[in-house]
Chain A
């Protein structure tokens, strides 16, 4: 068909035109206006909450020991920051949660891989793994106390039981959601099993895995708080949960609310500093950043 060669140049021009018309347009302008649109709503919501709280306290609907003023809670936080106890308590809890979570990743990742890829294993423990995910890990605290006593082992055990199922299930979901065409591409390109896992399966499963990690962290943190509230002993040192429980023992509502605030702060901080940027870069690279 020689006529195609003659019009080759015009074909190139048509093609260039099509490319220009069909290419998805990129909107990626970072402006103060957009930054404000991201920052303003949560700040306004927080301020409103404070105003309502202050108003309710001022109206004195509830006695002071049930609803303290925002200022008294703030005073407790400032006091604990100044005498250093806040940092001790935070460090105690956060380092345990991080260690427990890291162990959870080390156990949950291979477990998830095996469950996803080995049919017998999936049939055998898949349902159990999903079930464990909905079992509140506080339920393990009494058993763990009887097994390990009120020791760090108890805390780590509860954290692991909270995080491992989520991490493993996240990886399983991530692998299950890989479009079947991608491993086939690997096969026709001559990838070995190992190369296919390394260059296709794992990167393709990354978004699901990341979602599992995020949930695994949330469950680690929650489990840790539950364990710290229930299992208090000098051997464990004073974590955020114990700090909260101490507030209850003394009917010291400002301390209780300050503790809840700190627990929340860690949760939000880790989400914003660790998981959000990770997730954003992973999703953005794949063109899935609609949510951000």
Chain B
């Protein structure tokens, strides 16, 4: 795994060492993560891949600070990471612009500046001029783009002190229809290149992982451990197909091992 060596040589945006997470205690304890080691370089796009129950979301919650690991260390050299959930989770009583501004408001940004920056971010996700719409007046894909703009606002707000930005994304496109998902994946890549934030992207879709990520990390299920990782940056379409095939095979193996157990 040259990739791991490379990234550890560079400064890391986030590093997980021997992270364990157990829910409950005693006999009913469930081990969700067992000794996860992972690091993400500044500006790197890493996809966490795994079947359901592999603790992907748990892992993301730990990095986001929504939960604490039972054992192990999570070192963030970034500011507070921005998070994007499976659902847009916009405040239904606020306009699109106000939703984006909320991220800045908690950071103590003044109103006029908030407005300007929200407008810029909405333009970046191609929602210019729709800042006055409320979530229910937007389509699912548009709502998810507002959520992306909000996550960017939060990432950029945190990164003002010069520390690298980090975005955590928990299957943000899985609730969307195929065409919208395809378009939004392209948009995410464009925005990622434009903003240079590190991204930790959780998905159960191998194609999505290979298309988006520079690196794909496969997690086993119950308990979650890092099984393998693949370097998938800059593959040509043919190699991309090969990679998808290979990762799919590994994912199937991981899932089948549970039937035997």
Contact = CB atoms under 8 A, between A and B. Distances in A.
Contacts of B211: 1
Interface of A: 1, 3-5, 7-8, 11-12, 14-16, 18-19, 21-24, 26, 179, 181-182, 184-192, 195, 199-200, 203-204, 206, 282, 285-288
B137 A1 contact: no
B142 to A, nearest CB: 6
B217 to A, nearest CB: 19
Given A1-B189, A19-B139, A23-B137, A14 B183 contact: yes
Interface residues of B, number: 42
A202 to B, nearest CB: 10
B85 interface: yes
B103 to A, nearest CB: 5
B149 interface: no
Interface stretch (B12-20, B27-35, B46-54, B86-94): B86-94
Contacts of A191: 106
Interface of B: 64-66, 80-83, 85, 87, 89, 91-93, 102-103, 105-107, 126, 134-142, 150, 154, 158, 179-180, 183, 186-187, 189-190, 211, 234-235, 237
Contacts of B141: 15, 18-19, 22
A33 B179 CA distance: 40
Given A19-B141, A24-B136, A206-B93, A11 B82 contact: no
A182 B89 contact: yes
Given A1-B234, A15-B126, A190 B91 contact: no
B251 to A, nearest CB: 21
Contact of B139 (A11, A18, A188, A192): A18
B187 A285 contact: no
A285 B190 contact: no
A186 B64 CA distance: 12
Contacts of A11: 183, 186-187
A195 B138 CA distance: 27
A181 B211 CA distance: 28
